[in-house]
């Protein structure tokens, strides 16, 4: 005769099994609204064939990738791993992000859980591995969120980059490439101004910056958010009917970063030739047209804190140089005196440590006078 406990376990197993079967039935009956790939849905966004990377330029290198568990960082890690580098170190602050990367990255690599802002850790990595190449993809990137987190934005995007480039220069690293954003151009938000300061610190240290637009399908970007709304049968939210952005595919972003890393030396700022910006409304309409759900239309919500209606890749005080045969264009950008930059970065460090917003903004305006943002601190 079964004990009460045993009968209860059997009953619970039957209930769980029945619920599991019903959930599976509902999942099979649910229409599939997921696009095959963003590249298939928006094929015109692919750039004119960036030159393939010569594997020999990577094979002998000792490489550090920061933010290696993020969308771009993990794509870089997989591409670099496929080129068989001498050493590949993947640095990531998110435990879950690093775990996902290590589960999928089968090539030999060293996974390190930690922040670029951890000076002791980063110094140890440079002393141990003597990197030839650093690909710096680590950053906070969500505009509305960072408007209420100015200290975190500056600490992670600007000051951690200063820490990284300084240690790289001290260690004799020959090449470092910062992944920047078009939001750093004439910035109106904390994301943009923190990345602009990161650009200045990187160039001052003698390294390279690649400034990109929105990357299709990257985590937290507009297309995955629209896809989630589509899957839930909700209207697709767009901030403004005329809002536009520059877009490129993830494979193109990776190739452009590696192109800059393998063919460039010295302090250089690059932007790709990306064609015309694209209306977010047009993306939403195309996703609705490609869905097999009953469309719920588009809901215009208004621009959020720190958002621009349009982004640009080149500031009004910058000049562009065409590079024959290259998908990259060189940008000549104003650069502050090294001593002024260093002192101001010290002031930013002090402001972050004391959480003094007035001091933080004063220091920001010394480096980026055009910045007119109004961040709000939320403890």
List pLDDT tens digits, range 209-266: 999 998 887 877 888 888 888 888 889 999 999 999 998 888 889 999 999 998 877 7
Rg (CA), the chain: 23
Name the phi and psi angles at 89, rounded to 5: -115, 125
Which residues have a Cβ under 8 Å from the Cβ of 136 and sit 6 or more positions away? 66, 67, 116, 161, 164, 176, 177, 178, 179, 202
* Rounded average pLDDT over 175-196: 97
Is there a contact between 252 and 189 (Cβ–Cβ < 8 Å)? Answer: no
| pLDDT-derived band at 275, boundaries 50, 70, 90 | confident
Residue 308's contacts (CB-CB under 8 Å, 6 or more residues apart) are: 183, 188
CATH topology of domain 52-215+247-273+319-335: Rossmann fold (3.40.50)
Arithmetic mean of pLDDT, 188-212: 97
Beta strand 278-279 with 244-245: parallel, antiparallel or unpaired? antiparallel
Going by C-beta distance under 8 Å and a sequence separation of 6 or more, which residues neighbour residue 259?
Answer: 50, 51, 53, 326, 327, 328
- How many other C-beta atoms lie within 10 A of the C-beta of residue 316? 8
- pLDDT at residue 20, rounded to an integer: 34
* 4 pLDDT higher than 60: no
What is residue 335's DSSP assignment?
-
pLDDT in tens, 33-88: 343 455 566 665 566 655 677 888 899 999 999 999 999 999 999 999 999 999 99
Rounded Cα–Cα distance for residues 141 and 152 (Å): 11
Q: In this prediction, what percent of the chain has a pLDDT beyond 90?
A: 63
Cα Dmax for the chain: 86
Q: What is the mean pLDDT of residues 5-10?
A: 41
The yes-or-no answer on residue 46 being catalytic is no
Give Cα separations from 333 to 96, 164, 274, 346 (angstroms). Answer: 37, 21, 19, 22
List the one residue out of 213, 321, 208 whose CA is nearest residue 261.
208
pTM of the complete model: 0.86
302: left (phi over 0), alpha (psi -120 to 50) or beta: left
Q: Directed axis angle between helix 71-82 and helix 95-104, to 10°?
A: 30
C-beta separation of 144 from 306 below 8 A: yes
Which tokens go with 95? 């435990």
* Domain boundaries along the sequence of the chain: 52-215+247-273+319-335
Cβ neighbour number for residue 96 with a 10 Å cutoff: 9
**Which residue do the tokens 């952005």 mark?**
245
Can you tell me whether residue 27 is helix, strand or coil?
A: helix
CA dihedral 237, 315, 218, 64 (to 10 degrees): -160
Please tell me whether residue 274 adopts helix, strand or coil conformation.
coil
Of 141, 183, 195, 308, which residue is the catalytic one?
Answer: 183
What pLDDT, on the 0 to 100 scale, is given for residue 178? 98
Beta carbons of 191 and 141 less than 8 angstroms apart: yes
Residues contacting residue 76 through CB under 8 Å, at least 6 positions apart: 65, 68, 135, 137, 254, 257, 258
pLDDT digits (tens, 9 = 90+) for 328-378: 999 999 999 999 999 999 999 999 999 999 999 999 999 999 898 888 777
Residue with tokens 């460090």: 349
Spatial CB neighbours of 346, under 8 Å, sequence gap ≥ 6: none
Residue 12: what pLDDT?
38
| End-to-end Cα separation, the chain, in angstroms | 60
């Amino acid at each position: 005769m079964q004990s009460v406990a045993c009968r209860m376990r059997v009953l619970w197993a039957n209930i769980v099994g029945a619920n599991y079967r019903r959930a599976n039935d509902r999942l099979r009956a649910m229409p599939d609204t997921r696009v095959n790939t963003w590249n298939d849905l928006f094929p015109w966004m692919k750039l004119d064939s960036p030159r393939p990377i010569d594997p020999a330029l990577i094979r002998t290198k000792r490489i550090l990738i920061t933010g290696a568990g993020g969308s771009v960082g993990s794509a870089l890690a997989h591409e670099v791993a496929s080129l068989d580098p001498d050493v590949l170190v993947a640095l990531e602050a998110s435990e879950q992000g690093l775990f996902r990367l290590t589960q999928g990255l089968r090539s030999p690599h060293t996974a390190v859980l930690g922040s670029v802002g951890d000076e002791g850790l980063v110094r140890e990595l440079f002393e141990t591995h003597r990197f030839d190449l650093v690909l710096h993809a680590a950053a906070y990137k969500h505009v509305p969120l960072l408007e209420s987190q100015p200290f975190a934005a500056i600490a992670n995007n600007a000051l951690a980059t200063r820490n990284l480039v300084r240690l790289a220069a001290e260690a004799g690293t020959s090449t470092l490439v910062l992944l920047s954003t078009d939001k750093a151009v004439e910035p109106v938000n904390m994301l943009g101004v923190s990345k602009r300061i990161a650009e200045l610190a990187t160039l001052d240290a003698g390294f390279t910056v690649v400034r990109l637009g929105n990357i299709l399908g990257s985590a937290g970007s507009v297309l995955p958010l629209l896809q989630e709304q589509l899957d839930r049968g909700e209207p697709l939210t767009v901030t403004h009917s005329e809002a536009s952005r520059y877009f490129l595919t993830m494979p193109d972003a990776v190739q452009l970063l590696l192109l800059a890393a393998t063919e460039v030396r010295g302090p250089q700022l690059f932007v790709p030739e990306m064609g015309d910006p694209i209306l977010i409304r047009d993306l939403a309409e195309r996703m609705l047209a490609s869905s097999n759900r009953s469309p719920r239309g588009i809901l215009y919500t208004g621009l959020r804190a720190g958002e621009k209606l349009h982004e640009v890749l080149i500031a009004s005080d910058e000049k562009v140089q065409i590079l024959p045969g290259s998908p990259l264009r060189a940008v000549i950008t104003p650069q502050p005196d090294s001593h002024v930059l260093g002192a101001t970065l010290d002031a930013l460090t002090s402001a972050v440590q004391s959480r003094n917003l007035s001091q933080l903004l004063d220091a920001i305006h010394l480096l980026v006078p055009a910045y007119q943002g109004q961040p709000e601190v939320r403890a």
